[in-house]
Amino acid sequence: MTTAVFQPRPTLALLVWALLLIPGGVYAQEKIPFSPPSEDSLPANKFGDMVRLGKEMFVHTDKLLSKYVGNGLTCANCHLDAGRHANSAPLWAAYTIYPAYRKKTGEVNTFEQRLQGCFKYSMNGQAPPAGSPELTALTTYAFWLATGAPVGVSLPGQGYPILAKPAQPPSIERGATLYAANCALCHAENGGGTMLDGSYVFPPLWGKDSFNWGAGMHRIDIAAGFIKANMPLSKPNSLSDQQAWDLAAFVDSHERPQDPRFQGDVAATKKTFHNNEQCFYGDKVDGHVLGSP
């Protein structure tokens, strides 16, 4: 007589959790979209007030945080729709993946430290002190946008899209033609942006009021992903991958503020900080070594 061996059967709930949590599970495969909360849901209390203040600082960084900003940009220039827009480095997708190791710093950074880096590089300024009211407001805004998002999970729309290498090497010359046809109307022929009442309504893409040589957007691959998903502003994803690469090459082949990590010599700075990047820092373009004083 054979003795039956009891084998417990997992409940449906356990099976669902297993699929959600194991590597390659349902969540990883389907990449469930996330939507940040509506502003209508903000409470009428001090927390809600802090979130609103953080949003105002994010959108009007040049005016409200001018002592920390060294160019003409705002946070919302690269993080579109006040940090809500997918594939434009949205805040809700960034907040939940920190603390994290960053190759750029060689350290594990908190979200607050990540914000400080944005002021140093993208804003070409100086970072607000840790624990300052400014960083508290910005962090609170990001925290609220991430309401309900899973922690430690790479969400769809995080960062900028990563484009495959183009069929042809990125061309500054082709990019110049594309820029004139698709970008100059808003960002000006000289890349200096468009101003209204003392503020940029369309940001400068190079020159003294743009991001510096340490910002992520100076890298051709990162700029290409941003351009492909978001530009021209009214026609995202209308450019081919090759066109996005070419445009990024053209934009990033222009001079901009120095890398804050500058070691007194362009070649040394390039070797230390830019050697494995797709960028023009330290290269000669039109007879000028980019990044040279």
For 271-283, the pLDDT digits (tens) are 999 999 999 999 9
Q: Does CATH place domain 39-145 in 1.10.760.10?
A: yes
Rounded Cα gap, residues 107 and 43, in angstroms: 36
Residue 141 vs residues 76, 145, 274, 282: alpha-carbon distances, Å: 13, 6, 32, 37
CB distance 270 to 281 below 8 Å: yes
Residue 28 has pLDDT above 50, yes or no: no
3-class DSSP state for residue 10?
A: coil
Q: What backbone phi and psi angles, to 5 degrees, belong to 195? A: -105, 150
Domains of the chain, residue spans: 39-145, 172-289
- Quote the tokens at residue 112: 């607050």
Radius of gyration of the chain (CA): 22
- Which of 69, 90, 103 shows the shortest CA–CA distance to 211? 69
pLDDT of residue 31: 65
Residue 162 vs residues 2, 217, 245, 253: alpha-carbon distances, Å: 59, 13, 11, 20
Residue 236 has pLDDT above 70, yes or no: yes
> Token match 């023009």: residue?
280
Helix, strand, coil shares of the chain, percent, nearest 5, are: 40, 5, 50
Asked, as a colleague might, if the bond just before 232 is cis with ω within 30 of 0, I would say yes
Average pLDDT, the chain: 91
pLDDT of residue 32: 74
Whole-model pTM: value is 0.88
In terms of residues, how long is the chain? 293
* Domain 39-145 shares a fold with domain 172-289: yes
- Quote the tokens at residue 281: 């820092």
pLDDT band at 45 (very low <50, low <70, confident <90, very high): very high
- Quote the tokens at residue 207: 């020159």
- Which of 140, 186, 161, 7 shows the shortest CA–CA distance to 85? 161
Selected from 1.10.1740.10, 1.10.760.10, 2.30.29.30, 3.40.50.1220, the CATH number assigned to the domain covering 172-289 reads: 1.10.760.10
pLDDT of residue 107: 97
Taking residues 194-222, report their average pLDDT.
Answer: 96
* pLDDT tens digits, one per residue of 145-157: 999 999 999 999 9
